[in-house]
Amino acid sequence: MNYVNTTYQIAQRALADLKSAILTLLTDAGENGMTNAEIGRKLGIYHGHSGKHEGHIPRALLEIMNGEGVIIQDTSTKRWLIKK
């Protein structure tokens, strides 16, 4: 069994599923968008390590999606929106 290929595929599917879940939440939120904390809590991924650093997981995913040109953040409200 090629573990490198298999683990890579598992990780890529997991990322794709998380990004899809974020897009679903943002679609449902409409023009109101959602904050990092709201998204993270809805998906159960807002917790951090050592009791600190909450929000790093959803924030990293949101930044990846922003870099892909899929979503944007309203800097005045800190809310994430689907890019039109």
Please give the tally of structural domains in the chain.
1
Count of CB atoms within 10 A of residue 13's CB? 10
**How confident is the model at residue 66, as a pLDDT?**
98
- For 63-79, the pLDDT digits (tens) are 999 999 999 999 999 99
Q: Which domain holds residue 75?
A: 3-82
The CATH number given to whatever domain includes residue 57 is 1.10.10
Question: Radius of gyration over alpha carbons of the chain, in Å?
Answer: 14
- Is the pTM higher than 0.75? The answer reads yes
In the chain, how long is the greatest CA-to-CA distance?
50
Strand partners, 36: none
pLDDT tens per residue across all 84 residues of the chain = 566 678 989 999 999 999 999 999 999 999 999 999 999 999 999 876 666 667 788 999 999 999 999 999 999 999 999 998
Q: Give how far Cα 41 sits from Cα of 18, 28, 37, 47, 55, Å.
A: 13, 15, 6, 8, 9
Strand partners, 71: 82
* Distance separating alpha carbons of residues 40 and 50, to the nearest angstrom: 17
